Amino acid sequence: MNQLIKEGKILHWGLSNAPENYVRKAHAVSPITAIENQYSMIWREPEAEMFKICEELGIGFVAYSPLGNGFLSGKYAKETKYEEGDFRSFMGRFKPEVMEKNQVVLDLLTDIAASKRATSA
């Protein structure tokens, strides 16, 4: 990466889903601009260490899947059948029994959103 920066071919570079120790090693060789990891209300793992590392090293954090791969969107239910190749069919949070247990959370979020729409109208 340092060579590409020296040659003017890139200005910044980053990593996606890298473990903390790899981030530290890579940053020591060529300063990282940003880390991209999943982060949402249901996947808060970056709060454990990654945010601290980013702050310490001056690295930006780019969150992806803020709706938990669509889990928080209300689009999916325990009855949902996923098309072949849809990664959700392999994810634990989309298993019918998990969706059923978490429906109360999804209903609560729907109610909160509805109340916000009502007060802003």
Cβ atoms within 10 A of the Cβ of 59, count?
19
Give yes or no: residues 4 and 58 share one domain: yes
Contact partners, residue 59, CB within 8 Å, separation at least 6: 14, 23, 27, 32, 33, 34, 35, 53
- The Cα–Cα gap between 7 and 21 comes to 28
Give yes or no: residues 72 and 113 share one domain: yes
Contact partners, residue 50, CB within 8 Å, separation at least 6: 20, 23, 35, 37, 61
Last residue of a domain, one of 66, 90, 112: 66
Give yes or no: residues 62 and 72 share one domain: no
pLDDT in tens, 51-67: 999 999 999 999 999 99
Residue span of the structural domain in which 6 resides: 1-66
Give yes or no: residues 4 and 55 share one domain: yes
Provide the domain count of the chain: 2
Last residue of a domain, one of 43, 66, 89: 66
Task: Examine the pLDDT at 121 and tell me if it is beyond 80.
Answer: no
Q: Is the CB of residue 35 less than 8 Å from the CB of residue 59?
A: yes
pLDDT in tens, 4-25: 999 999 999 999 999 999 999 9
Q: Which residue has the tokens 């959103």?
A: 113
Give yes or no: residues 15 and 48 share one domain: yes
Last residue of a domain, one of 66, 82, 107: 66
Give yes or no: residues 38 and 12 share one domain: yes
Note the pLDDT of residue 51.
98
- The Cα–Cα gap between 114 and 55 comes to 36
What percent of the chain stands above pLDDT 70?
99
Task: Select from 67, 55, 50, 56 the least CA-distant residue to 105.
Answer: 67
Note the pLDDT of residue 7.
96
